[in-house]
Structure 1
Amino acid sequence: MDGYQRRTEKKKENIRKAAFELFATYGVEKVSVAEIAKKANVSPVTIYNYFGSKEDLTKSVIEEFFNTEMEKFNQIINADISYPKKVEKILFDRMELTKSISTDFIKSITDPGIQKLIEEWTNTKAMPAMMELIEQGRHGGYIHPNITTEAILLYFHIFTEAIQHPELFANVNKQTIIDIGHLFFYGLVGQPKKD
């Protein structure tokens, strides 16, 4: 890659970063290309030249965001730490992420092209990673062998939906979140029952 291409890629990266920060704070619909250009210190024409439209920029931003999150998720899955620590870290990361993103951003992603991108990403990247996490839990004896994968995925989904409401966790301390992680694994009994 020559100097021109490096500068171009750096500008694109700055534009995506600026767009993400604005989208995460105000939602996609409330942010204009002019605001993104100002924050990225480029002209609106540059954004159109690089991305074609606000919709295409939004897709690029979301795709990069998902890929970054997937990379973090895979690092946790492959880390040399206990299974409960992996799930705890995933939960903490999700909660921290949720605190930094406005609900307007999540709600404003209604474009059919973006919805298709999210669906495709979920099926090809997120679900295989979740299946790997579940298999690690089964293999380590943390997940009861009689619990179906469908039930586990629904449980994760319910938990993830709750986490996407930062107001629920606004005044929650770290120990409470650790306790929630414990509940996640062992329910109200507090620990696996020994027969």
Structure 2
Amino acid sequence: MTKKEQDILIAGKKLFFKYGLKKVTIEEICAEANVSKMTFYKYFPNKTALVKKVFDTLFEARIEIYLKMMRSDIPFSEKMKKILEMKREGSAEISKEYLKDIFKHSGTEFSAFFDQWIQRSMKVAIDSFAEAQQEGYIRKDINPKLLLVWVERMADLLSDERVLDEYESVPDLAEELAKLFLYGICGER
């Protein structure tokens, strides 16, 4: 990847996270990356292609980090704490506008793309939780597919404006949802 392409990716990510996908223009991305529109089009045929590349890169990196951590020898309780840290760090730059665009993408050119990544991310998480269940870290009487549905409902909460309005920042909401998922209402043990 050339430096110019990397600059465009970084600028796109920054602007998408801050303002959402719909509001950001190619001109704004070019200004942030300090490249011409001609340079932008050399690497990306349109904004949709850039959005997809940004998220492919981001999701691949996060899944790799997650799997490496889950396969590590640290105690399971520490893994759960690290998941919370990853959620907070991963959402630190994200705006409410971005979340609304991501989770209310139905009918847009991004629908199939985001649905694919959401399903892939959930499968990775559920597979690792099923493995932890086999190792005795998660109750054996819980169906891992129920966990998948639970995670989907948490994603619904991330796009609910009533919920978003209750939190100062997206990281605060993401961390609270992750704690609720991991520890229930009783807290850490």
- Of 105, 126, 134, the residue aligned with 1:131 is 126
TM-score by length of 2: 0.77
SS of equivalent residue, structure 2 residue 22: coil
**Structure 1 residues 102 and 12 mapped into 2: Cα distance closer, same or farther (>3 Å)?**
same
Structure possessing the higher radius of gyration over alpha carbons: 1
Query: Aligned-residue CA RMSD in angstroms?
Result: 3.0
Q: Quick check: 1:12 aligned with 2:11?
A: no
Corresponding position: 1:98 with 2:91: yes
Alpha-carbon contact 1:83-1:136 (below 8 Å) kept: no
Pairing partner for 2:186 from 160, 178, 188: 188
Q: Which runs of 5+ in 2 are unaligned?
A: none
2:19 — aligned with what? 26
Unaligned runs of 5+ in 1: 1-5
Distance in 1, matches of 2:19 and 2:60, equals 22
Structure 2 residue 124 is the aligned partner of structure 1 residue 141: no
Contact 1:94–1:163, Cα closer than 8 Å, also in 2: no
Using the TM superposition, give the Cα deviation of residue 122 of structure 1 relative to its aligned residue in structure 2, in angstroms.
3.1
Distance 1:88 1:44 in 2: 43
Distance 1:48 1:189, change over 3 A: closer
Partner of 1:112: 108
The reply on whether 1:54 has 2:47 as its aligned counterpart is yes
Structure 2 counterpart of 1:70: 63
* Aligned-residue offset at 1:186: 6.1
One-letter code aligned to 1:168: Y
CA distance in 2 between counterparts of 1:143 and 1:17 reads: 38
Shift of residue 151, structure 1, vs aligned partner: 2.1
- Contact 2:99/2:158 (8 A) holds in 1: no
